[in-house]
Amino acid sequence: EPEVTQTPSHQVTQMGQEVILRCVPISNHLYFYWYRQILGQKVEFLVSFYNNEISEKSEIFDDQFSVERPDGSNFTLKIRSTKLEDSAMYFCASSEASGGTGNIQYFGAGTRLSVL
Amino acid sequence: QKEVEQDPGPLSVPEGAIVSLNCTYSNSAFQYFMWYRQYSRKGPELLMYTYSSGNKEDGRFTAQVDKSSKYISLFIRDSQPSDSATYLCAMSASGAGSYQLTFGKGTKLSVIP
């Protein structure tokens, strides 16, 4: 069964360092998303991406964050200068289309980011 | 007022019990309603998907949406220890652009053998 894969599963970094989280969405999906979940809190939307550009972003997704689809399969989230409060699980998701059952989003297993 | 409210539990039931999980929401633009299951430190796994109001059944799981009350439910019949997980409700609006999901906080369920 197709799945969203994320690497690494756990990333440890020092405050102020740049990190890149990687995702391979399901191959025929066109919409890509990043969410985060701080321990004990809700899953929160960060950004959506379609046709090589950002469709929508939340207030959390400030200038420290960027997304990219560098090739036909990968989708990345970059945090330029990490802060302690960026420590969270980051989930990548993808969906086939917009509207109807195409809107169903499938999630990867997540990357646990620990900022020290 | 929070957009999606979900009782975080924890909820503990004996094996074989019927489980009822619920969410309320405030945004009348929400059209798509989902239930995800999440095991500890894992990604959300889709269980049920419903568009607009109505019921949907899949095996032991039934999802209900009442848009007039802004209330959604997930019922689990004949609950099993393997159903022990956190259950997240999620919803999104329709329209051009993205379909970002708004999640509830999740209800932690334990099914005791």
HEC-encoded secondary structure of A4-34: CEEECCEEEECCCCCEEEEEECCCCCCEEEE
CB pair distance less than 8 Å for A35 and B90: no
Mean pLDDT across A60-76: 93
Mean pLDDT across A47-65: 93
CB-based contact B48:B61 (threshold 8 Å): yes
CB pair distance less than 8 Å for B44 and A109: no
Residue B89 is predicted with a pLDDT of: 97
CB pair distance less than 8 Å for A42 and B104: yes
Residue B53 is predicted with a pLDDT of: 83
SS3 B54: strand
Lowest mean pLDDT segment, chosen from A7-11, A30-34, A55-59, B90-94: B90-94
pLDDT digits (tens, 9 = 90+) for B36-52: 999 987 899 999 999 88
Residue B95 is predicted with a pLDDT of: 65
Percent of chain B with pLDDT over 90: 73
CA distance B38 to chain A (A): 10
Mutate which: A51, A105, A111, A113, vs B, most B CBs within 10 A = A105
Residues 51-90 of B with CB under 8 A from A: 51, 88, 90
Average predicted confidence (pLDDT) for chain B: 91
Say yes or no to pLDDT of A100 above 70: no
**B34 to chain A: which residues are within 8 Å by CB?**
104-105
CB-based contact B30:B100 (threshold 8 Å): no
